[in-house]
Amino acid sequence: MAESGASASAAERSPVSPCVGICLMDPATKMCRGCQRTIDEIAGWYEASIAEKRDILARLAARRAARAG
């Protein structure tokens, strides 16, 4: 049986933290050298909504792509 939209949203899992355990802030970029997050993104991760966490993960993917390209 299909779940209603409200039930599916409530059961939705929060994205896993992108932390890789290499916590070193780069003074030039103001981002963590391990996960590429800013201080604000790191500090706000656990209070962020699922949508906000997905936005952070999308920004990280864009940063990594820009760095690789």
pLDDT tens string 31-69: 999 999 999 999 999 999 999 999 999 999 999 999 898
Is 1 contained in some domain?
A: no
Which domain range does residue 50 map to? 19-68
Domains identified in the chain, total number: 1
pLDDT band at residue 1 under the 50/70/90 scheme: very low
* pLDDT at position 13: 92
d(CA 27, CA 50): 29
Q: Say if CB 24 and CB 16 are below 8 A apart.
A: no
Strand 31-32 with 25-26, pairing: antiparallel
Is 27 contained in some domain?
A: yes
Residue whose entry in the numeric block shows the structure tokens 């966490």: 53
* pLDDT at position 10: 54
Is 52 contained in some domain?
A: yes
Is 3 contained in some domain?
A: no
Is 7 contained in some domain?
A: no
